[in-house]
Every structure is written in structure tokens, then in C-alpha cells.
């Protein structure tokens, strides 16, 4: 990837290179160390923490002799589609005119796809129209081709939980058995639906159980992130005080996407010097912009569910949602109702559970903006 100069240094949708990417040095080193040892990794975190960014960041820093292939399978609906995105990613990972490129192209063409060109990017895309065993054979052939190269390949499959929606049965068992035979190809699996990813990789009933090392991605270090944010403002000729940066990090709970989003808006709206009033106004605006969506969320819920969500929002983190003092403080009904509501809120992905550093389970509101909005109700 060539160097990209962004007009706003706080991207909120995708990875634009190391310059706009804060830290994750340890995580990158750990991924690379796993790759060097030939171990596949499953990268887990709650949504919008920076998994996809970390994968892109890592693939650009692979040691000599390694090639990275990134596939996002969110839009795939079956194994045929999976083959399409895999083959497409592979042909796009090497320049066509190079010696290796020719070899890769010739191989992919030998599988007889239709090649077309993306109307926006001009990048080639491979389409197959095959079924059943033939798809399996083609995917195996692609993996075998990579396996037999003089270089090593890292295949990162993002939104991997999507395979659970394929109509083909036992896709994970089949894929696991193929992958197990590879020595020259290492995988990184990730996905935004944490409960499904956890189920796929940590449930003993599942074929992928214990087949990869699990890596949990936590929040960025607040101090490091703060320094990074200030230096980006400065590089673009703007000034923001440490106190204001701390306020932003605190308000956005150091949750990467939300911090990026706030910084992006504050940066865009500010002149030379960022003021406290400006930050406050932007935070207010951010919530106002999304209010229609928040009303929709709220209308989905019954009164006890909404009551509970507000309570969790107010507390930030809740360890014991059925504890007497919690119920009393927020005027909540009996604990059985609370547990039932909690289950619904989790199913709607409005509330998530995670473990703190001491292994204690807690509940929190999933979307930071929604939390801040609900807190003010
Ligand atoms: N270390 C970082 N420094 C700066 N920005 C980051 C960093 N990590 C991620 N981001 C940005 O934050 C946003 C969310 O990150 P990303 O999409 O990687 O999260 P994710 O965990 O893959 O989310 P999802 O669970 O929804 O797939 C993106 O715009 C990304 O560029
Ligand atoms: Mg992602």
C-alpha cells in the first residue's frame, strides 16, 4: 500500500497505514511470533475494538518470505462465494506482471473462473459457478497451491462466523481438516460476532476447538492513545490540551471506534485550538445525529428492559445485576425479570458480557454512544 495522506487523520471506517494507527505493538509482535511458529490465531474482542485494523497492520509487517492474504467473508453465503473471495484476494495480493504473479494467475485461471474487473477500483475479481464436491476440490486445490510455494502464506479470514450461515453442512469440520494438513500456510481468524466466534473456537463440541491460539484484543492504553491523538492534532497544525483528550477518552471509554469517531468530528469542527465548549458541542451533536436510531432501539424494548438498560448505562459496568442494592437503586423489578430482560438485551446486542482482569464477569452497554445517550434519559 502506498502512503496515503488523509485530510482528517482519524479514520473511522478502515485502516490507512501505520501513521494513523495507534500502538498495538505488542499485539502485532504476538501475531507475528505465532505466524513464525506456524501457529494459527483466533483474534477475539467485543465489536469495534480494532481487530480488522490490527490484522491489516500485521499483514503489512510480515517477515521476509511471507505473503499476506486478507479475506472478509461477511458477504459470502456459501462455499462457492468463499472460493470467489479467496481466489480474488489471492490474485490481488501479487502484481500480475511479476514472475510470481504470472504463476498465481495461471493457476487460478486453470480453475476456470470468470474474471471481471471491479468498476470502482479496477481490481480483478474471480467468479466461480460450481457446486458441492467441485467447490470443495477447488478450495483444496487453492490451499494446496499455496502450500507448495517457496514462500509462506498468512491467510486472514475476517468475519469468519459467517461460515455458520452457509447451507453446506459441517463447513467448519471440513475446513478444519483441510487446514490441519498445511504447513506452509498459517491462518488468522477473526469476526465481529464475538459469541459465535467464541462458540466456534472454544466449544469442545466444535471442530476448531483448540486448533488455534486465542488472542483477546483489549482496549488501547489510555496514555499511549492520548499522546497519539495529541501528536496527530499537532502534526495537522492544531492544538488540543491533555485534559480535553483525557475527557474524550473517558467519555468514549477508550473504545477504539468511538474514540476515533469523536476525534474525527472534533478535528473537523475545530480551528487551531480545540476548546472545551467545542468538544462538548460535538459530543452533543454526535448523540443528536444518532437519536433516531436510539429511539428505534428503545421502542424495541419493553418497559422493564429499557429500565434495566438505563441502569446498566448509568453504572457503566455491572457485576451483579440481581444484587439487592442495584435493583433498589434503579427501581428494578424482581431479579427473575431482570435476568430475563438481560437475556433479551444480550440477544439484541445492546448489552454484552465480558470478564475483567480478575476474571469477574460483568455487563456493559455495547454501543458507547447509546450508553451515553441512555444515561442522559
Ligand atoms: N490502533 C488503532 N489506532 C487508530 N485507529 C484504530 C486502531 N484500531 C482500529 N482503529 C480504527 O477504529 C475503527 C474500528 O476498528 P476495526 O474496524 O478494526 O474494529 P473491529 O474490532 O474489526 O470491529 P468489528 O468487530 O465491528 O469488526 C476503524 O476505523 C479503525 O481504523
Ligand atoms: Mg472487523
pLDDT of residue 278: 98
Element (H, E) at 233: helix 222-235
Q: What is the pLDDT of residue 195?
A: 87
> CB of 40 within 8 A of CB of 212?
yes
Residues 76 and 212 in one domain: yes
Residue 209 in any domain: the answer is yes
- Residue 237 belongs to some domain of the structure: yes
Res 1 pLDDT > 60: no
193 and 304 share one domain: no
In this structure, is residue 19 part of a structural domain? no
The preferred substitution site among 26, 48, 252, 366 for testing ligand 1, maximizing ligand atoms within 8 Å of CB, is 48
78 in a structural domain = yes
Contacts 24+ apart (CB under 8 A), 353-359: 354/46, 356/317
Any domain includes 310: yes
Query: What is the number of residues in the chain?
Result: 377
Cβ of 372 below 6 Å from ligand 1: no
Distances, alpha carbon 115 to alpha carbons 88, 109, 110, 126, 131, in Å: 9, 8, 12, 5, 18
Judge whether residue 200 has pLDDT over 60: yes
Q: How far is CA 287 from CA 67, 283, 377, in A?
A: 42, 6, 12
Same domain, 239 and 202: no
> Could you tell me the CATH number of the domain that includes residue 183?
3.40.50.300
Mean pLDDT of 313-318: 95
Residue 57 maps to a domain? yes
- Residues 288-306 have a mean pLDDT of 94
Residue 55: give the domain boundaries: 24-216
Distance (Å, whole) CA 360 – CA 355: 5
70 lines ligand 1 (CB under 6 A): no
Reference 222, options 244, 201, 253, 194; nearest CA is 253
Q: Which of 199, 216, 233 is a domain's end point? A: 216
Angle between helix axes 25-36 and 51-59 (nearest 10 degrees) is 60
Together in a domain, 65 and 176:
yes
For ligand 2, the distance from its centroid to the CA atom of residue 118, given in whole angstroms, is: 22
Question: Could you tell which of 26, 43, 50, 158 is best to mutate to test the pocket of ligand 1, judged by most ligand atoms within 8 Å of the CB?
Answer: 50
Is position 284 within any domain? no
Quick check: 376 pLDDT over 90?
A: no
161 pocket-lining for ligand 1 (C-beta < 6 Å): no
Closest residue (by CA) to atom 5 of ligand 1?
A: 21
Domains of the chain: total: 3
Q: Are residues 271 and 341 in the same domain?
A: no
**Whether residue 32 is found in the same domain as residue 127:** yes
Same domain for 62 and 152?
yes
Atom of ligand 1 nearest to the CA of 21: 3
Interval 92-151: pLDDT, tens = 998 888 899 999 999 999 999 999 999 998 999 999 999 889 999 999 999 999 999 999
Q: Is 9 within the bounds of a domain?
A: no
Whether residue 154 is predicted with pLDDT greater than 90 in this model: the reply is yes
Q: What is the CATH number of the domain that holds 349?
A: 1.10.10.10
Please report the pLDDT score of residue 2 as a whole number.
60
Q: Which atom of ligand 1 is nearest to the CA of 55?
A: 18
The tens digit of pLDDT for each residue in 213-252 reads: 999 999 999 999 999 999 999 999 999 999 999 999 999 9
Tens digit of each residue's pLDDT (9 = 90 or more) over 29-52: 999 999 999 999 999 999 999 999
Whether residues 233 and 160 share a domain: the answer is: no
Which residue, by CA, sits nearest to atom 27 of ligand 1? 192
Q: How far apart are CA 20 and CA 4, in angstroms?
A: 10
Ligand 1 midpoint to CA 50 (Å): 3
Ligand 1 atom closest to 20 (CA): 4
Q: Are 207 and 134 within one domain? A: yes
Atom of ligand 1 at shortest range from CA of 220: 1
β-strands 66-72, 41-44: how paired? unpaired
State if residue 216 touches ligand 1 by the CB under 6 angstroms criterion. no
The secondary structure of 347-363 as a DSSP string is: HTTSEEEEE-TTS-EEE
Same domain, 182 and 118: yes
Give the torsion sign (CA, 62, 63, 69, 71): negative
Q: Based on the fold, state whether residues 265 and 328 are members of the same structural domain.
A: no
> Do residues 129 and 205 share a domain?
yes
The average pLDDT across 201-209 equals 93
Q: Which atom, in ligand 1's list, is nearest to the CA of 46?
A: 25
Amino acid at each position: 500500500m502506498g502512503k496515503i495522506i488523509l485530510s482528517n487523520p482519524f479514520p473511522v471506517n478502515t485502516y490507512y497505514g501505520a501513521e494513523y494507527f495507534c500502538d498495538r505493538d505488542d499485539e502485532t509482535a504476538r501475531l507475528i511470533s505465532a505466524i513464525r511458529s506456524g501457529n494459527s490465531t483466533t483474534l477475539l474482542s467485543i465489536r469495534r475494538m480494532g481487530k480488522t485494523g490490527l490484522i491489516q497492520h500485521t499483514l503489512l509487517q510480515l517477515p521476509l518470505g511471507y505473503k499476506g492474504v486478507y479475506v472478509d467473508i461477511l458477504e459470502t453465503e456459501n462455499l462457492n462465494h468463499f472460493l470467489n473471495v479467496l481466489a480474488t484476494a489471492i490474485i490481488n495480493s501479487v502484481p500480475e506482471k511479476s514472475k510470481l504473479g504470472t504463476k498465481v494467475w495461471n493457476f487460478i485461471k486453470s480453475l476456470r473462473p470468470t474474471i471481471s474487473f471491479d468498476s470502482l477500483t479496477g481490481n480483478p475479481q474471480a467468479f466461480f459457478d460450481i457446486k458441492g464436491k467441485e467447490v470443495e476440490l477447488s478450495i483444496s486445490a487453492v490451499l494446496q497451491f499455496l502450500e507448495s510455494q517457496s514462500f509462506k502464506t498468512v491467510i486472514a479470514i475476517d468475519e469468519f462466523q459467517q461460515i455458520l450461515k452457509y447451507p453446506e453442512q459441517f463447513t467448519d469440520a471440513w475446513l478444519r481438516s483441510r487446514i490441519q494438513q498445511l504447513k506452509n500456510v498459517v491462518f488468522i481468524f477473526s469476526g465481529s460476532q464475538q459469541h459465535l466466534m467464541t462458540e466456534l473456537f472454544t466449544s469442545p463440541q466444535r471442530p476448531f476447538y483448540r486448533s488455534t491460539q486465542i488472542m483477546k484484543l483489549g482496549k488501547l492504553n489510555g496514555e499511549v492513545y492520548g499522546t497519539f491523538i495529541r501528536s496527530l492534532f499537532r502534526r495537522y497544525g492544531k492544538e488540543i490540551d491533555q485534559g480535553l483528550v483525557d475527557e474524550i477518552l473517558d467519555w468514549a471509554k477508550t473504545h477504539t471506534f468511538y474514540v476515533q469517531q469523536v476525534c474525527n468530528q472534533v478535528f473537523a469542527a475545530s480551528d487551531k485550538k480545540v476548546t472545551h465548549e467545542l468538544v462538548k458541542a460535538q459530543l452533543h451533536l454526535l448523540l443528536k445525529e444518532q437519536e433516531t436510531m436510539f429511539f428505534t432501539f428503545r421502542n424495541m424494548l419493553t418497559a422493564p428492559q429499557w429500565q434495566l438498560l438505563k441502569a446498566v448505562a448509568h453504572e457503566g459496568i455491572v457485576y451483579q445485576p440481581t444484587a439487592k442494592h442495584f435493583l433498589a437503586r434503579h427501581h428494578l423489578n424482581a431479579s427473575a425479570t431482570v435476568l430475563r430482560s438481560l437475556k433479551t438485551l444480550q440477544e439484541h446486542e445492546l448489552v454484552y458480557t465480558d470478564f475483567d482482569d480478575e476474571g469477574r464477569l460483568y455487563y456493559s452497554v455495547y454501543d458507547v454512544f447509546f450508553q451515553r445517550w441512555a444515561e442522559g434519559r
